[in-house]
Amino acid sequence: TLKAPCTPSKIVCVGLNYRDHAEEMKDRIPEEPVLFIKPSTAVIGPKESIIYPKMSNQVDYEAELAVIIKDKIKDIEEDHVKKHILGYTCFNDVTARDLQKKDGQWTRAKSFDTFAPFGPTIVTDIDPSNLNIQLLLNDQIKQNSNTNQLIFSVEKLVSFISKIMTLNPGDVIATGTPSGVGPMNVGDKVAVTIEKIGILENYVRNYASMH
């Protein structure tokens, strides 16, 4: 069984970081990165099940490029970021959309167990600024974009986050999702595909079937 490729102390996620997604959500382009955190308890690996929580009626997929931090960093500038990145992988920022709207802040909607699938492997030595990214739901393309649509670059994000919090080896930064987000249902197969990295495939199961 392929597990998640590392064990982060935290997952720092970026909201509204693709121009097309900001337009889709009818939000203005942010002046600074909008951050939230997922707990390490949300992590699952490839082929593992995303559990549909009982308190939600709409669980969405969000395909993202994830950055894996190599060493302990704080307060670094953008031109020093690259040497502190271990590599990149696929990430699905699973979101209970109805609860996100209800709460107005995102912690509950983003933090359920199994809501942070990533993998399959960490790929080093690639340029993260021009990679095709797709999400397939039951083999149908739902999201189709490129990381050249990122509002804030990987270097900008890592530097910005490091000026707020210390980043530890194995920490994950999820860089935001393009347009085309939408709901998943129990029984669905969901796959994040990123050029030069690979495919992260998971299945949606209901809570009862796991207990």
- Residue span of the structural domain in which 54 resides: 11-209
Mean pLDDT, all residues of the chain: 95
- pLDDT band at residue 210, thresholds of 50, 70 and 90? low
Report the Cα–Cα distance between both ends of the chain, in Å, rounded: 21
Give pLDDT tens digits for 85-97.
999 999 999 999 9
Distance CA 45, CA 114 (A): 9
Residue 5 lies in a domain: no
Residue 192 lies in a domain: yes
Residue 6 lies in a domain: no
Give pLDDT tens digits for 130-154.
999 999 999 999 999 999 999 999 9
Tokens of 2: 């392929």
Mean pLDDT of 2-29: 87
Cα dihedral sign for 43, 111, 124, 86? Answer: negative
Mean pLDDT of 166-195: 97
CATH of the domain at 152: 3.90.850.10
Q: Total domain count for the chain?
A: 1
Residue 103 lies in a domain: yes
Distance CA 2, CA 118 (A): 11
Residue 1 lies in a domain: no
Distance CA 20, CA 24 (A): 6
Give pLDDT tens digits for 23-80.
777 778 889 999 999 999 999 999 999 999 999 999 999 999 999 999 999 999 999 9
Share of the chain above pLDDT 90, in %: 88
Residue 144 lies in a domain: yes
What pLDDT shows up at residue 95?
98
Residue 187 lies in a domain: yes
Residue 135 lies in a domain: yes
What pLDDT shows up at residue 211?
56
pTM metric for this prediction: 0.95
The DSSP string of 31-51 is SS-EEEEE-GGGEE-TTPEEE
- pLDDT band at residue 204, thresholds of 50, 70 and 90? very high
Amino acid at 185: N
Residue of higher predicted confidence among 6 and 71: 71
Locus of tokens 């670094």: 76
